Structure 1
Amino acid sequence: MGRITELLDTAHHRSQTNAWSFAGALLPHEAYELLQIAPGTRLIDVRSHAELELNGVVPGAMHVEWQSWPGWVLNPHFLIQLAQATDPESLLLFICRSGERSHRAAVACADAGRGSCYNVLEGIEGELNKATGHRTELNGWKHRSLPWTQG
């Protein structure tokens, strides 16, 4: 069994265990590895434009906003914009700040009939450390020292 198959099988198992409708869920380091070895895989950053400017971006990620700031208004054109920006055969890995909005984006994508939709658990900044009030201290893309740049 190849590494791509191992990563996707692990992601599928997580999704099945949790009864999620999308294809799978990946930890940040697994998503990064898949991006490196699986041609056509796309990382879709669903954070708001404001978050990209304030908190940085992952090089090579596509941006399709799930909700807009201010007000966290749902993007009514999300699925159309996603379809216009991606190949229908691509593996789509959705990421946000903590993994919650990307989860909803992956569900919407799967519910719309797109098959290869994956959520990146933990997101870019990870869970909030309640002891310090900060993110990036417990988990997430940045915590795992994966590539990102300040926007």
Structure 2
Amino acid sequence: MGNITKILQAAQQRAQEMKLSYQGALTPNEAYELMNQASGAVLVDVRTTAETIWVGQVPGAVEIEWMGYPSMRPNAHFLAQLEQEVSKEALVAFICRSGQRSHHAAVAATQAGYVNCFNVLEGFEGDLNDEGHRNVLNGWRALGLPWEQT
């Protein structure tokens, strides 16, 4: 069994355990590996443009805001923008700051007909530590996965 298959099976098992309505839940390391090894896999960053500018971004990720800044109102054009950027048959991993907005994006995309939606658990910045800081415990950045700041 190939590594991609193992990752997808683990993600699907998590989805069953978490009772998710989409294909699976990935760790940041799994998402990174899929983006580099699975043909046609796409990482969609649903954080605000302000977050990607101020906090950092994942090279090669498609950026489509789930909510706009500073209002933090839902992006009414999210699905239309997603359809312009990503095929409904693609393996799509959604990422946000902590995994919450990306969960909702994965649900919405699945309901809109995307067949291989995954959420990146922990997100880009990870969970809060005891002092209320992110980027320490877990998440894309804390794990040392590729990111850049423009």
User: 1:2 — aligned with what?
Assistant: 2
Post-superposition CA distance 1:81-126 (Å, at most 9, x none): 1011012221000000000000000011111221100000000000
Q: Secondary structure at the match of 2:43?
A: strand
Q: Is the 8 A contact 2:123 2:140 kept in 1?
A: yes
Gaps of 5+ in 2: none
One-letter amino acid matched to 1:60: G
Post-superposition CA distance 1:45-65 (Å, at most 9, x none): 000011011101000000011
One-letter amino acid matched to 1:148: W
User: 2:112 — aligned with what?
Assistant: 112
Q: Secondary structure at the match of 1:68?
A: coil
In angstroms, what is the RMSD of aligned CA positions?
0.8
User: 1:134 — aligned with what?
Assistant: 133
> Is 1:85–2:70 an aligned residue pair?
no
User: 1:144 — aligned with what?
Assistant: 143
Q: Secondary structure at the match of 1:73?
A: coil
Identity over aligned pairs, percent:
53
Instruction: Give structure 1 regions of 4+ aligned residues with deviation exceeding 4 angstroms.
Output: none
- Counterpart mapping for 1:39-78 below 5 A: 39-78=39-78
Shift of 1:134: 1.0
Q: Secondary structure at the match of 2:44?
A: strand
- Counterpart mapping for 1:25-40 below 5 A: 25-40=25-40
The separation in 1 between residues aligned to 2:147 and 2:115, in whole angstroms, is 27
Q: Secondary structure at the match of 2:118?
A: strand
Q: Is the 8 A contact 2:88 2:113 kept in 1?
A: no
User: 1:98 — aligned with what?
Assistant: 98
Aligned length: 150
Gaps of 5+ in 1: none
Shift of 1:133: 2.1
The separation in 2 between residues aligned to 1:40 and 1:109, in whole angstroms, is 17
